[in-house]
Chain A
Amino acid sequence: KQEVTQIPAALSVPEGENLVLNCSFTDSAIYNLQWFRQDPGKGLTSLLLIQSSQREQTSGRLNASLDKSSGRSTLYIAASQPGDSATYLCAVKGGTYKYIFGTGTRLKVLA
């Protein structure tokens, strides 16, 4: 059974720092991995999707990597800003129509 873990559960950093969020999964047979952002009381917004054949994807200050063999993905945020404060979730898609979500990392960027 696929399990997805995100560590740390919460993170506080000063503005301007570069930071890395981690996502690990137990079954490497995935179709893709997606990173989402969730603001309090809101829905999820897709940030990046990495297909199983890809190693990384970039969008602006965000870079996500995927290492299927080790069951790990990282989300790198460059030059963090207070507006980046949110919960970040990763989700893997297996051979069905289901995504398995991690519990998220709650990020706070201090001004």
Chain B
Amino acid sequence: DGGITQSPKYLFRKEGQNVTLSCEQNLNHDAMYWYRQDPGQGLRLIYYSQIVNDFQKGDIAEGYSVSREKKESFPLTVTSAQKNPTAFYLCASSTTPAGGTTDTQYFGPGTRLTVL
């Protein structure tokens, strides 16, 4: 059953804590992405990775970090430097790393992070 899994579904963070959100895909996709979604706003790109051991900052990377040690996995760490982390976080992957016209983004079910 191919797809993208994210865990946990709900996550609570205390002030000053770092937390890590998991994203795993078995679609054999090269490119993976992390987005943040806030009410009334479109998705905003945090980080993306075109290939293992390489990743690029998106529009709102401050306070976040990622790693890409395996093709299947792209975990996101929300650090204490992120001052307003309460949001819905979505992981995605796509088929073509180069700027193709046919690549479709596939999304995981999301993780809702709340700061206590």
Contact = CB atoms under 8 A, between A and B. Distances in A.
Interface string A34-45: 101000011111
Interface string A61-72: 000000000000
Given A101-B42, A102-B42, A104-B42, A53 B101 contact: yes
B66 to A, nearest CB: 14
Interface stretch (B13-21, B75-83, B102-110): B102-110
Interface string B27-55: 00001010100001111010010100000
B56 interface: yes
Given A97-B56, A98-B48, A103-B41, A43 B108 contact: yes
B2 interface: no
Nearest to B9: A41
B102 A43 contact: no
14 contacts: A31-B101, A36-B107, A43-B108, A44-B105, A45-B107, A49-B104, A51-B101, A53-B101, A93-B103, A97-B31, A97-B50, A99-B43, A101-B43, A102-B42
Interface of A: 4, 31-32, 34, 36, 41-46, 49, 51-53, 89, 91, 93, 95-104
A103 B99 contact: no
Given A31-B100, A103-B41, A46 B112 contact: no
A44 B92 CA distance: 9
